[in-house]
Chain A
Amino acid sequence: MTAMHPSPSPSVGAPGRIVIVGHGIAGLTAGDTLRREGFSGELTVIGQEPHDPYSRPALSKAMLEDLSTPSPGAVTEIEAQYLAAPSEGATVHAGRSAVGLDPEAQTVLLDDGGVLAYDGLVITSGARARRFTDSPDEYTLRGLDDARALRQRLAGRPAVIVIGGGPLGMEVASAAREAGCEVTLVHRGQPMRRHVGDVLAGLCTSAARDRGLHLVDASVTRVHRDAPDGGLDIELSTGGTLRAEVIVSAIGDAPNDEWLADSGLLTDGRLLIDDWGIVAPGVVAAGDVAWRRSGPGIQRRALWTDAIEQAKVAAEALLHGRSASPASYAPYFWTEQFGLNLRICGEVPAEVTPTVVDGDLAESRAVLQWEDPTQGGAAAAVNFRIPIPKLRRLARPAPAAA
């Protein structure tokens, strides 16, 4: 509302115009936080997708609904789980992408030729699914349009090859099996191991096999389209080749940072944030696009809870600098696959055997706790409803209990 150099709060260098690039959970949280912290200047949000903001984690599950009913013709549209609208008084440009940034002039260039001037910039442009080809028979699952397209295709009960055995790949495989598709999943090593450790990965794998998933232990070296029948050939590290009608690639994501290529803000091609989400003076970032230091290396971890924590801290830092608290991560993620509902707090040490705190693993219903002196603890609930704050307490190393 105030056009020229307003001073919304007494904080140092409080900017008058803030642009948020991205309206996923990180961008939305940043907007909320800016308003909560007293920012009353112009707030502009660029949303790449034409849709109102929705929950991404809910997509892989929503994809399932109705598909398991025996009426393939009657596929209803996926109902997105829409998130609360961006913060009050924000101007939202949906269906627009940022294509360039000039940090000297403090402007963001949009794909429609528009130029937005900012005093403060929040980069939450997210990531996109990695893929092998541009074939229409290769699907990914990242956005609402992806979910809708894949669901339509699965309704015809094609044979499906899923590439990648992380949570997303296993969720998609589970959905496709439930829909009645023949499903093969290609993954080098044991699926889910990196995310949930040996014991739970074993549980996931046997549940998947019980439900008819074919597992191929190999990595994929190349996928190519072979004329004339339109199928895709998947070349494996083991030397074999699989022929697929439909493939779903769940092989991770790539940050949407190309628009920053000439900005001078990337460090070795990566958008690196500090513990406050700061990239450069007046520029912060959060969520899937951002890398952060972790021990000796750098890390980009695409978790709902991390995106929220980073966005909150980054927005505070944009207004108040490093006087606010740095980010404090308490990783949490969940997955539903092959009849298993897993909730995990902390980082599971793959090779450590967990203690069964409640329930019984043999019945696939248990609460597990890992103690690892080097990494801190972790805890998991398997088909067990438990308040997450309680699970978090189990995930903390013992001396911290209070």
Chain B
Amino acid sequence: MAATVVAHLELDRPRCEGHGLCEEAAPDLMHLDDEGELVLDATDISEQDLEAARTAVRVCPVAALKLA
């Protein structure tokens, strides 16, 4: 059963510096690969994941993530 999508997560890749604080905030939604590049594992955000996504957006020191 598909959860309703309430927001989309966007990454401004050139801006991303690979700090990985977002991964610590939302490990189910994103991770850094072995090269330290950020991989979004989900971009369609459900109500259930919204708080984690918001926290990940907030914690990014270079504002590379956005919820739209």
Contact = CB atoms under 8 A, between A and B. Distances in A.
A256 to B, nearest CB: 21
Contacts of B34: 387
A54 B32 CA distance: 24
Interface string B1-32: 00000000000000101111101100000011
Contacts of B51: 36
Nearest to A385: B36
A320 to B, nearest CB: 17
Interface residues of B, number: 26
User: Is chain A's binding surface mostly helix, strand, loop or mixed?
Assistant: mixed
B31 A387 contact: yes
Contact of A81 (B15, B35, B59): B15
A305 B32 CA distance: 18
B57 interface: yes
Contacts of A176: none
B60 to A, nearest CB: 8
A195 B21 CA distance: 20
A305 B21 contact: yes
A81 B19 contact: no
A334 B67 CA distance: 25
Nearest to A57: B61
A308 B19 CA distance: 15
B55 interface: yes
Nearest to A62: B62
B63 A385 contact: no
A343 B19 contact: yes
Given A84-B67, A308-B59, A387-B36, 10 more contacts: A29-B58, A32-B55, A36-B51, A54-B63, A84-B54, A84-B57, A385-B35, A388-B18, A389-B20, A389-B24
CB-CB nearest 7 A-B residue pairs? A385-B36, A388-B20, A387-B32, A81-B63, A57-B61, A387-B20, A84-B57
